[in-house]
Amino acid sequence: MADALILPIGLVTAGLVAARLGVLTIAAWQQATYRREQDRLTLEVMRERIAEAKKRRNENALAWNGLRKFVVKRKVLEAEGICSFYLVAHDRKPLPPFKPGQYLTFRLSIPGRDKPVIRCYSLSDSPRTDQYRVSIKRVGSPPDQPTAPPGLVSNYFHEQLSEGDILDVQAPRGHFFLDVEQERPVVLIAGGVGVTPLLSMVNAVVATRTQRDVLFFYGVRNSREHAFKDTLQEIVSHHSNIRLVVAYSNPQPEDERNEGRDFHHSGRVDIRLIKSYLDSTNYQFYICGPPAMMETLNKQLLRWGVAEHDIHTEAFGPATVSKAFASPQAPQSARASDSAATAISITFAKSGKTCSWSPSAGNLLDLAEAHGVRIDSGCRAGNCGTCVVAVKSGKIQYVTEHGAELEEGTCLTCIAAPEGNIVLDA
């Protein structure tokens, strides 16, 4: 009887041992596969990091400090009063790539001026190593001051510069750029010549060959000022992920027959138009245009529920910066009421002047100029670094992010507001 049980028990035991061995073998095999996969992923990440580091090293090797000489290779009229300038390095060495949306800073010696003049212009094409392009609108006298001199540098570019001329240029910089590594859908909103950095962004999306959704709103007065019409139409005709909505604020009689083809709406690019094309607020917004348009849209997008960090704006001039003192993002001191802030005193040590500051006085550069204190300026938007002065005592805050590099203890007066009493070395 006992003998009869030995065989089945033996078989069961052997089976159990075999099953156990099988389980252990499978587990060991799974572990080995898992470890191999982990090693492969680690190696892949390391390779990517090395490639990224090499890429950055090459880019840094191509970038330059200070000024580099560029030759105007080509000058092309894009629309009434807007000209593109194609620039190649005078030393013919490759150019560093830039981030789409960044700008170049020019230092120009203009006949009749005792000092060089500085201005920033956005790069309007996607990054290339052989040439850069900027597109410049000729600025006239302000409508309410027709006898004032027209824009100095924009007119110099249009009237005085020819192909073959040489310019001094700083390396590309700026915080207003599109991260092309991301896939999130993006809304680009351009007003007039503010199209330049956004054109660079859409060109960069095309160059990356991704399917990232782009909705491009472009507001211009009419067909005469409609720069880059063919370029943009060509892009949307070949890329179903990119949509273009053009609005003419003041269409001319000759434009009427082209409604639906060259432009889609009469009127401005406003929040109603934008909402009518979007199914949610889950987009990144990039806006560049006249100060009034940017301020209104910024507020309306926030009110609609767009996250603040998803709204990016670029100011082309000082007006936006001055108005920023009234915005919710402005520093605490700047938001204080004028009467409460009159206690803030600013001393310009070199000039021996002390005056009181309130938000209506604008930034520290405006205040200095209003009191006859000379501080050189260029972009008046925190980008070129010309208006830098040392802060001898006290604290300042910026109303907007600055593009210019800064040393400890200095401040860019064109975008600075005081936090309390301060002494500036000016």
Ligand X SMILES: Cc1cc2nc3c(=O)[nH]c(=O)nc-3n(C[C@H](O)[C@H](O)[C@H](O)COP(=O)(O)OP(=O)(O)OC[C@H]3O[C@@H](n4cnc5c(N)ncnc54)[C@H](O)[C@@H]3O)c2cc1C
Binding residues for ligand FES, rule: CB under 6 A, are: 377-380, 382-387, 404, 412, 414
Cα separation, 301 vs 312, whole angstroms: 11
Residue 128 burial (10 A CB sphere; 0-12, 13-18, 19+): middle
Which of ligand FES, ligand X, none has residue 119 at its interface (CB below 5 to 8 Å by kind)?
ligand X
Site mask, ligand X, residues 281-310, x = CB under 6 A? ------------------------------
Between 204 and 412, whose beta carbon lies closer to ligand FES?
412
Cα separation, 244 vs 33, whole angstroms: 49
The DSSP letter of residue 139 is P
Which of ligand FES, ligand X, none has residue 19 at its interface (CB below 5 to 8 Å by kind)?
none
When asked if residue 158 is in the footprint of ligand X (CB under 6 A), the reply is no
Q: Among all residues, whose Cβ is closest to ligand X?
A: 151
244-272 burial: b if 16+ Cβ within 10 Å, else e:
bbbbbbebeeebeeeeeebbbbeebbbee
Cα separation, 272 vs 263, whole angstroms: 17
State which of residues 83, 87, 136, 242 lies at the interface with ligand X (CB under 6 A).
Answer: 136
Between 139 and 171, whose beta carbon lies closer to ligand X?
139
According to CB under 6 A, which residues from 65 to 124 bind ligand X? 103, 119-122
Which of ligand X, ligand FES, none has residue 152 at its interface (CB below 5 to 8 Å by kind)?
ligand X
Between 187 and 387, whose beta carbon lies closer to ligand FES?
387
State which of residues 99, 137, 212, 312 lies at the interface with ligand X (CB under 6 A).
Answer: 137
Count of CB atoms situated within 10 Å of the CB of 305 = 9
Angle, vertex CA 345, rays to CA 407 and CA 367, nearest 5? 70
Q: How far is the CB of 35 from ligand X (least distance, A)?
A: 51
Between 3 and 405, whose beta carbon lies closer to ligand FES?
405
Which of ligand FES, ligand X, none has residue 193 at its interface (CB below 5 to 8 Å by kind)?
ligand X
Which of ligand FES, ligand X, none has residue 78 at its interface (CB below 5 to 8 Å by kind)?
none
Q: How far is the CB of 195 from ligand X (least distance, A)?
A: 8
Q: How far is the CB of 90 from ligand FES (least distance, A)?
A: 25
Sign of the Cα pseudo-torsion (163, 166, 169, 171, in order): positive
Sign of the Cα pseudo-torsion (333, 339, 345, 351, in order): positive
When asked if residue 312 is in the footprint of ligand X (CB under 6 A), the reply is no
Q: Hey, which residues does 313 pair with through a beta bridge?
A: 287
Amino acid sitting at position 174: G
Q: How far is the CB of 145 from ligand FES (least distance, A)?
A: 22
Which of ligand X, ligand FES, none has residue 378 at its interface (CB below 5 to 8 Å by kind)?
ligand FES
Of residues 135, 138, 132, the one with CA closest to residue 158: 138
Helical packing angle, 229-238 and 195-208, nearest 10° = 30
According to CB under 6 A, which residues from 349 to 388 bind ligand X? 379, 381, 383
Between 244 and 379, whose beta carbon lies closer to ligand FES?
379
Long-range contacts: 108-114, Cβ < 8 Å, 24+?
108/153, 108/156, 108/167, 108/168, 110/152, 110/153, 110/156, 110/160, 113/152
Cα separation, 12 vs 15, whole angstroms: 5
Between 152 and 336, whose beta carbon lies closer to ligand X?
152
Residue pair 96/82 in contact (Cβ under 8 Å)? The answer is: no
Residue pair 212/239 in contact (Cβ under 8 Å)? The answer is: no
According to CB under 6 A, which residues from 189 to 228 bind ligand X? 193, 196
Which of ligand X, ligand FES, none has residue 84 at its interface (CB below 5 to 8 Å by kind)?
none
Q: How far is the CB of 40 from ligand FES (least distance, A)?
A: 49
Q: Which residues bind ligand X (CB under 6 A)?
A: 103, 119-122, 134-137, 139, 141-142, 145, 148-155, 193, 196, 314, 316-317, 379, 381, 383
